[in-house]
A and B are shown apart, each in its own frame.
Chain A
Amino acid sequence: GQQLNQSPQSMFIQEGEDVSMNCTSSSIFNTWLWYKQDPGEGPVLLIALYKAGELTSNGRLTAQFGITRKDSFLNISASIPSDVGIYFCAGLNMNRDDKIIFGKGTRLHILP
């Protein structure tokens, strides 16, 4: 079946550092979504990307939809303690079905 490879699996950074994570796939998607999950809660949508090459920002977050439509990255600038959590990428191809495929997540830890 379809798979998304998300990396890194976990990150340990100092407060104030920038963060970068990415997702790749062997399949083409026409939508990429990035979510953040806090412990014991449901994922919350951060950014949605709809067009190959699109670069979208949401505050300190920036995400890009790869030109090949098989990858996406998420950057967080100047990290703060509340950025701790698990970040998931998700791909969807509405021409095929409404099935949403998720990466396995990147767990972000911020060191004091």
Chain B
Amino acid sequence: DGGITQSPKYLFRKEGQNVTLSCEQNLNHDAMYWYRQDPGQGLRLIYYSQIVNDFQKGDIAEGYSVSREKKESFPLTVTSAQKNPTAFYLCASNPGQGGTEAFFGQGTRLTVV
């Protein structure tokens, strides 16, 4: 089955530690995205990548880093510089280059204690 998979579903980390969230897709999509969602809030774009080995900052990139070494993978690292990392993180992909429907993973809920 084709789809986009985020892991883990729930993640707990101590304050000051870096943590990496996984996002994998087997849809052969060029574009991938990371969004942050806080309770009762909409989706805010962290980073996006239109093609392998290239990515751009979104609206709230500070304290986050990404890589796009493979087409199917777009991991997000939440660094200790992110002041308020506890949130629900969503990954999405889109065919890119004119393909317009974007599909989401199931999300990762990160809690920093």
Please give the residue numbers on chain A whose beta carbons come within 8 Å of chain B beta carbons, in ascending order: 1, 6, 31, 33, 35, 40-45, 48, 50, 88, 90, 92, 94, 97-105, 107
Given A98-B48, A99-B45, A42 contacting B104 (CB threshold 8 A): yes
- A100 and B48 alpha carbons, distance in the complex (Å): 9
- Name the prevailing secondary structure of the B interface residues: strand
14 further interface pairs, Cβ-Cβ under 8 Å (given A43-B43, A98-B31): A1-B59, A42-B104, A42-B107, A43-B90, A45-B101, A45-B103, A94-B97, A94-B100, A98-B48, A98-B50, A99-B48, A99-B58, A100-B94, A101-B45
- A104 and B88 alpha carbons, distance in the complex (Å): 15
Q: Could you tell me if A33 and B100 are in contact, using CB atoms closer than 8 angstroms?
A: yes
- A33 and B97 alpha carbons, distance in the complex (Å): 17
A13 to chain B, nearest CB (A): 19
Q: Which residues of A contact B102 (CB under 8 A)?
A: 33, 45, 90, 92, 100
- A100 and B43 alpha carbons, distance in the complex (Å): 10
Q: Does B71 reach chain A (CB closer than 8 Å)?
A: no
Q: Which residues of A contact B84 (CB under 8 A)?
A: none
Q: Which residues of A contact B41 (CB under 8 A)?
A: 104-105
Quick one: CB contact mask for B65-89 with A, threshold 8 Å, 1 for yes?
0000000000000000000000010
User: Count of chain B residues with Cβ under 8 Å from any Cβ of A?
Assistant: 31
Q: Which residues of A contact B111 (CB under 8 A)?
A: none
Closest residue of chain A to B33, judged by CB? A100
Chain A CB within 10 Å, residue with most, of B88, B94, B98, B102: B102
Closest residue of chain B to A90, judged by CB? B102
A15 to chain B, nearest CB (A): 23
Listed by A's residue number, 16 A-B pairs whose Cβ atoms lie within 8 Å are: A33-B100, A42-B6, A42-B90, A42-B92, A42-B104, A42-B105, A42-B107, A43-B43, A43-B90, A48-B101, A94-B100, A97-B56, A99-B58, A100-B33, A104-B42, A105-B41
Q: Could you tell me if B103 and A94 are in contact, using CB atoms closer than 8 angstroms?
A: no
